[in-house]
Each structure stands twice: as C-alpha cells, then as structure tokens.
Structure 1
Amino acid sequence: MELNPGQHGIKLREIVFIRHGTTAWNLEKRYLGHTDIGLLPDAERELALLRESISAITWDALYCSDLLRCRQTMQRIAPVQAGQAQLDPRLREIDFGQWEGQTYGQLKDNPHYRDWIDAPQDVTPPGGEPWQTFTARIDSFLTDCLLSASREAYSGENMVPAIAVVTHGGVIRYAVSRLIPELGFWDTLVIPGQAIKVRLEKSKNSWVSNRVSFP
C-alpha cells in the first residue's frame, strides 16, 4: 500500500491505536473475532491507568470498532469525547468463523487449523473471513481515515493532529505493519487495554511512519 497523502494533507499526525480491554474469552484464550461480547466487570479498574494517561489529550478525531468491547473501552477511557467517535465496522477483528470461541487446545489436532496457523494468508477458517478480505478493509480504513484526510477533517485543537483508534489486537498488528513496513505482523505485541502511538510525517509524496513512546 502506497502511503501517499492527499494534495492538501497536513505534514504531521499522530495515531494512538488502543486495544480494547479484557473480555472473558481473552482470559480463557478463546478465539474472539466478530462475536459481540463485552468487557469484564472490572474494566473500569483495568483501564484507569490508560484513561489517566490520555486525560489531557483533546482528540482531533476518534475512530472505534463498532463491536461492544471497543465501544465500552472508548466510553471508559475518553468519556467526554466518546460521543464524537466514528464507529467503523472496518475496524473489527478478523472473523474466525466456526473457530470462534474455541481454544488452541480444542483445535490443535485439526489439520485445517494447523494449515491456517502455518499460512493464514492462504487458508481460511471454515465459515470465516479470508485474510485478503480482512486486510483489504483495514487498508481501506487507513487510506480513507488516516492517510488521506485533510486538515478540515480534524478539529484543529492541536498543532499535530491527535487521532485515537480503538480496535482489536489483530487489526493493530496489521495496521502497524502497513504503516511501518520494516515491522512484520507478529513484531508488535499488543495486550488488552494497551496504547501504541505511531507518528506519520509527510516526506515529499509519501508518509514516513515510526512508532514513538506513549504517552
């Protein structure tokens, strides 16, 4: 994917990718894609540190997966601005199909599952989402919302626009690998409730991206 800014784009922007808080299936290490379950009852406590770390930020744009666990996370970490968030189904986790809710232990002897582990780009879970469909919708989001937006798309509160994206682990891994090409999909470790910041800087006709410390 070419990281080409629009003709009227601004020269710097910072994106904070935030993984939703912990769910029961996360604790049980079950595959969780499109199944729409909420956070654990102690989510307020779990997300308190993250909420404090971003409390002074006025977000120029907020994007959020439309699934419940992400919407609940947004409400807890940015209660004042949560109502301004744009819900986008392109930010959903990959759909694991018939493997939703199952664990590695339940699937490890399934040859189809073993093939998928070895080559997810070539093998699709039964009834699930092909890798190419998953990546295409994230590429579409990155282009439309992060790489092509002009200054008018943001509130103008900050000299460098601050953008929050509340989404899922697989989405963050893929997005970071596309924005920072030297990073592979598995090179980014992202745990529930964690924030990862990427700075984009316009250089001639393309965006140069790098991960920076957060907060």
Structure 2
Amino acid sequence: MRNLYVVTHTEATHHVDSLVGGWYDAALTPRGVHDAQRVAAALSERIPDEEGALLVCSDLLRTRQTAEPIADRFAVEMLLDPDLREQSYGAAEGTPRGSTPYAPPPADGDRMHHRDGIDDSETRFEWANRTYSALQKILVHGARDAVVVTHGGTATYLIAAWIGLPLEHAGYVKFTVAPGSITYLREDDFFHDRQVVALNQTSHLS
C-alpha cells in the first residue's frame, strides 16, 4: 500500500488582497495559520504515528508555513522542491487580478504550449512537466505515506501524473481544490492500481 496526501496551502494574503499568485511569495493570513494546524491534526488521524511520513512541499512561503505544523506533529524533516510551485505568471505576479492582459488557451489545438502573452510566464506544458517530475522524485523515496504540500493549480497535475495521464494529453484536465484541502491518493500492493480515493476534503476546516 502506498498513500499520498496532497495538501493545498491554506489561505494566503494574495487571496484576500485579490492579487495574482503564482510565484509571488505571499504569506499565510491568520486564518491560514489556524487552518494549517487543522490540516496537521486531520493528517495525524489518517497516518499512524509509528509509521512516520515523508513530507515534501513547494519552497514558497505559504506552502512552507502550511507544512510547518505537519512537520512538527510528525517530527519529520520538511523537504523543499521548487518543482511543486504554482504556475509562474511572470510579470503579472503580485499585481491586482485582471489588471494584466491575458490570452486564455484555445478551445481546440495545442493548449499545453500556448503562450498567454504575459512576459516570463510558464506554458501549461512547462508547469505540468516539472510537476510530473516532482511526483517521480517523491515516489523514488518509497515511503508508504507521503504528504505533499503544494498549490491549487499544481495539485491538478499531481493527480494527473498519479493516474498516468500522458503529459501531452493533459491540456484539458482540471481538478478544483480549495485552500487547505486534502486529496487522498492510494496505490495497492497487489494490482498496483492508483486510485483517487478522496478529492478536495475540507471537513477538517469547519
């Protein structure tokens, strides 16, 4: 059995200030700090203490702050991986949402390599490719239980990589997950089937 818990960072300042996130290094709000404790408590109910856990997170501040209570509760080291960052929105990061002209991907055609017109922003292919790579690095550890603290958009490509969706076919995939949510992924020992057991769990935040 292999269990992967994908945690999205809790509420951050760019959420409440309506700023573009991406690689903009926002901190958690007071609510986000409180919810991060709730996430850690919820994970402690799912993962046996004696088993320990692998903890990997994006290197941005809001994800590190979300992961800190998890690291404390499980007494494990937090491993940082910049490949788990949100999509880079380049020059738009940290600016008011909607203030930068943006060209959305086409309904048909090559959505993965589409350029949105913002300087230094990533294509979906670049974003997804590093996320797929991040999952492979996590799996190499061979941990029975792994917690990955990442961003809402990046969670989509972690799930896509988990279920084996080819990168070149990921142009339309989208899983909606809320701040502070837990998505539970599992691989069994016999068939090695990979399941999405629970998507976007948020009951621990109420």
TM superposition score category, shorter chain reference: 0.7 to 0.9
Q: Which segment is superposed worse, 191-200 or 39-48?
A: 39-48
Distance 1:21 1:82 in 2: 21
Are residue 195 (structure 1) and residue 185 (structure 2) matched? no
Shift of 1:208: 2.3
Distance 2:9 2:145 in 1: 19
Are residue 134 (structure 1) and residue 119 (structure 2) matched? no
Choose the corresponding residue for 1:42, options 18, 23, 31. 31
Aligned residue for 1:185, secondary structure, equals coil
> Where does residue 59 of structure 2 map in the other structure?
66
Compared CA separation, residues 130 and 168, structure 1 to 2 (3 A)? same
Supply the AA of the counterpart residue of 1:52: A
Kept after mapping to 2: 8 A contact 1:64/1:71: yes
Counting only pairs closer than 5 Å after superposition, residues 14-29 of structure 1 correspond to structure 2 as: 14-29=3-18
Kept after mapping to 2: 8 A contact 1:44/1:76: no
Distance 2:112 2:14 in 1: 21
Kept after mapping to 1: 8 A contact 2:56/2:147: yes
TM-score, normalised on structure 1?
0.75
Kept after mapping to 1: 8 A contact 2:57/2:79: yes
Shift of 1:181: 5.3
Shift of 1:123: 1.5
Structure 1: gaps (5+ residues): 1-11, 155-160
Distance 1:24 1:202 in 2: 41
Kept after mapping to 2: 8 A contact 1:55/1:78: no
Are residue 212 (structure 1) and residue 200 (structure 2) matched? no
Distance 2:163 2:122 in 1: 24
Distance 2:177 2:67 in 1: 17
Q: Which has the higher contact order (CA 8 A, sep 6+)?
A: 1
Kept after mapping to 1: 8 A contact 2:40/2:73: no
Counting only pairs closer than 5 Å after superposition, residues 29-178 of structure 1 correspond to structure 2 as: 29-56=18-45, 57=47, 58=49, 59-81=52-74, 83-107=76-100, 110=101, 113-116=102-105, 119=111, 121-124=113-116, 125-146=118-139, 148-150=140-142, 154=143, 161-178=144-161
Kept after mapping to 2: 8 A contact 1:63/1:164: yes
Q: How many residues align?
A: 187
Aligned residue for 1:74, secondary structure, equals helix
Structure 1 vs Structure 2: percent identity of aligned residues?
27
Let me know the Cα RMSD of the aligned residues.
2.6
Aligned residue for 1:133, secondary structure, equals helix
